[in-house]
Amino acid sequence: MGYDEAIIKLGDFGRYQRIIYFLICLTSIPVAFHKMAGVFILARPKFRCVLPFEDDSPGNGSQYELPEQLWNISYPPGDVCEYYDVDYSEEYLNGSLARTTNNTRSCDRYVYDQSTYLNSAVTEWNLVCERGFMAGTSDSFFMLGVLLGSIIFGQLSDRYGRKPILFASLVIQVVFGVLAGLAPEYFTYTISRLIVGATTSGVFLVAYVIAMEMVGPAKRLYAGIFVMMFFSVGFMLTAAFAYFIHDWRWLQIGLTLPGLIFMCYYWIIPESARWLLSKGRKECAIANMQKAARFNRVDITPEVLSALLDEGSGPADKQQMDLDKDKKKEPLPSVWDLFCYPNLRRKTLLIFLDWLVTSGVYYGLSWNTKNLGGNVLLNFLISGAVEIPAYIFLLLTLNRWGRRSILCGCLVVAGLSLLLTVVIPEGMNALIVTCAMMGKLAITASYGTVYIFSAEQFPTVVRNVALGAASMVARIGGMLTPYLSYLGDIWGPLPLLVCGVLSLAAGLLSLLLPETHNKPMLETIADGERFGKKTKGELSLEAVETQPLNGSLENGHEANGSL
């Protein structure tokens, strides 16, 4: 608690902290650029095969629209990836000759509708028909990069510090973001985007940690939520870039170059004082805190800061060091600890399902705006804008109504809203978009809640590994999401139907999880197994928690060591 008290002495959330926090929040904007860029860079417009007779007429191949008669005699019903294998003579095209065969030939050239998109990576590399899966695979590899980045950059920031890893991530993001825009072929583009995806974790997660570590306990909820709000701002600004830049290569580069602004952060953003203290670099931490004190016009000496940071030290610290040595002799906590006991296993599976669904539905709705009908850019802009009231809702209710109530309620509302889009007539496009955006608002709120709810469900001895595993499950959901939009080729409302069913199911199943609001944090495996478990004849959680578990769970340390 010494550092938290020292922060209060420095002016709590003073002018210095506010400026640094604002600068840190800005880094969330380019992260949103890269995560949402695929909606426009990999946009798939309407297309059709170039017909044989068009090869002989220069200029016709660039015209997407055809008279209805030509559509009927050239393409099989509902299929523009093949055309009838006939002699496209002048008599046949004029309707004088009847078609004599149903045999078809596959396309070797395509023509694209340019009324919505001037071009995209899809149109340049013909990622349609039998190559159509390649566009979704590219986005899936981007999310794989996000997964790898959360593992790699998270560990590096713990080892080498927040500041150097944040700066390195920003530099790599700019380099490979530009390379993706210059990529001569699909493979180079996809690998570049994978690396950019990894850096989005390096930037966003490290920035999130810095923001949380620089404020006191009373401000942490607000600090975390506002970082996410800046991501939503970047979400909306992506639409502005797409409105003014119509060439996909220049759009990719245009979304990347703002990252150059953050190169100056190396001389502005300080290293996290909490991290410095955790590494025993107390003098550096005090120097950084002194700088903040001077900026906040707070008169505090290094000796006073040192005393505050040392608060609670002494014999207790020696005892804690001895305990830490004893713990090192025990096996390290593992994610498998969560599956060894029935109640803990049940809760873990439910939480993993919540992460999988919230991540998959969030990105599914964010990337599926092009299939909602109407103005693509407007739909995308609204999809980002509805996230702001979702986060405000969390600020007002998360500490009042409880975590489970909000998570369950938001998932159910998202599910019902998305299911409503299936029964709305196609002509009522504005109502379809409204219901889809209500679902996006609700799923965003549930995404913000599941972080806190999960941390409070897992016991301390396995909390970090459990949250890491949950995050990996979420990324798997994100990796599957790019293929969701292809379900729309089967039936237009199908992507929203799948998202709605998953959200509703996850929301109802979340009722099986115990409420954590105003409950003490769980410490041992035994605590985790007891929490929320009801035995025969018992009606309340409190009654369960007063009864010891059998076997090795009687002692949390023994349980952890035996698994």
pLDDT, tens only, 492-507: 678 888 899 999 999 9
Determine the average pLDDT of the residues in 205-233.
80
pLDDT, average across residues 291-308: 74
Helix runs in 312-402, H state only: 315-328, 342-367, 376-385, 387-401
CB contact set of 224 (below 8 Å; sequence gap of 6+): 208, 211, 212, 451
Residue 58 has what pLDDT?
43
Name the one residue in this structure whose structure tokens are 């974790």. Answer: 201
544 vs 509, higher pLDDT: 509
Integer Cα distance of 114 and 136 in angstroms: 21
pLDDT tens, 444-478? Answer: 999 888 878 887 888 867 776 777 788 888 888 88
Q: What is the DSSP string of 462-513?
A: GHHHHHHHHHHHHHHHHHHGGGGGGGGGT-TTHHHHHHHHHHHHHHHHGGGS
Average pLDDT value over all residues in the chain: 81
- Asked whether residue 211 carries a pLDDT value surpassing 90, the answer given is no
Q: Report d(CA 419, CA 436) in Å as an integer.
A: 9
Q: How confident is the model at residue 351 (pLDDT cuts 50, 70, 90)?
A: very high
**Strand stretches in 109-252, DSSP E:** 110-112
| Residue 232 pLDDT exceeds 90 | yes
Note whether 367 and 453 are same-domain residues: yes
pLDDT at 561 (0 to 100): 32
Identity at 111, one-letter amino acid code: V
Quote the pTM value. 0.82
**Predicted local confidence at residue 172, as pLDDT:** 96
Mean pLDDT of 518-538: 71
Backbone angles phi, psi at 296, to 5 degrees: -85, 0
Q: Indicate whether 153 and 198 sit together in one domain.
A: yes
Asked whether residue 156 falls in the same domain as residue 178, the answer is: yes
Q: What is the pLDDT of residue 157?
A: 83
Q: Is the dihedral of CA 370, 376, 379, 381 positive or negative?
A: positive
Q: Is the pLDDT reported for residue 352 higher than 70?
A: yes
Domain, as residue range, for 149: 1-37+132-329
Query: Are residue 140 and residue 280 in the same domain, yes or no?
Result: yes
Return the percentage of the chain with pLDDT > 90, whole number: 33
Is residue 405 in a domain?
A: yes
From 269, 294, 329, the end of a domain falls on 329
What is the arithmetic mean of pLDDT over 322-335? 54
Kindly indicate the confidence band of residue 280, based on its pLDDT and cuts at 50, 70 and 90. confident
Q: Which amino acid, one-letter code, is at 300? A: I
pLDDT band at 3 (very low <50, low <70, confident <90, very high): low
Mean pLDDT, residues 67-96:
86
CB neighbour list of residue 319: distance below 8 Å, 6 or more residues apart: none
Structure-model confidence comparison of residues 308 and 342, the more confident one: 342
List all residues 6 or more positions away from 334 whose beta carbon is below 8 Å from its beta carbon: 462, 465, 563
Closest CA to 33 of 249, 202, 237: 237
**CATH classification of the domain holding 469:** 1.20.1250.20
Indicate if 136 and 271 belong to the same structural domain: yes
Domain count, the chain: 3
Residue 382 has pLDDT above 50, yes or no: yes
Name the residue type at position 480: L
More confident residue, 551 or 140: 140
Q: Is the pLDDT of residue 145 over 90?
A: yes
Least confidently predicted of 1-15, 180-194, 196-210: 1-15
Please measure the distance between the N-terminal and C-terminal CA atoms of the chain and give it in whole angstroms. 32
Measured distance CA(376)–CA(524) in Å, rounded: 50
Helices then strands (H, E): number in the chain? 27, 4
pLDDT of residue 560: 34
pLDDT at 186: 95
The answer, yes or no, to whether residue 313 has pLDDT greater than 90, is no
**Contact (CB, 8 A) for 30 and 173:** yes
Verify that 335 and 323 share a domain, yes or no: no
Residue 488: the pLDDT is 67
Write out pLDDT tens, residues 182-196.
Answer: 999 999 999 999 999
Q: Is 55 a residue whose pLDDT tops 70?
A: no
Statement to judge: residues 172 and 294 lie in one domain? yes
Q: Which of 271, 23, 31 is nearest to 173 (CA)?
A: 31
- Bridge-based pairing of strands 104-106 and 82-84 is antiparallel
Instruction: Phi first, then psi: give them for residue 85, nearest 5 degrees.
Output: -85, 80
Residues 513-542, mean pLDDT to the nearest whole number: 69
* Torsion over CA: 386, 391, 397, 403 (sign): positive
Q: Read off the pLDDT band of 540 (50, 70, 90).
A: very low
Residue with the larger pLDDT of the pair 27 and 296: 27
Rounded-to-integer distance, Cα 344 and Cα 307, Å: 41
Instruction: Let me know: does 397 contact 406? Beta carbons within 8 Å.
Output: yes
Mark whether 236 and 256 lie in a shared domain. Answer: yes
Residue 497: inside a domain, yes or no? yes
Spatial distance between the Cα atoms of 410 and 404, rounded to a whole number of angstroms? 10
Do residues 312 and 1 make contact, with C-beta atoms less than 8 angstroms apart?
A: yes
Q: Which of 275, 310, 329 is the last residue of a domain?
A: 329
Closest CA to 238 of 25, 23, 31: 31
Report residue 311 as tokens: 């608060």
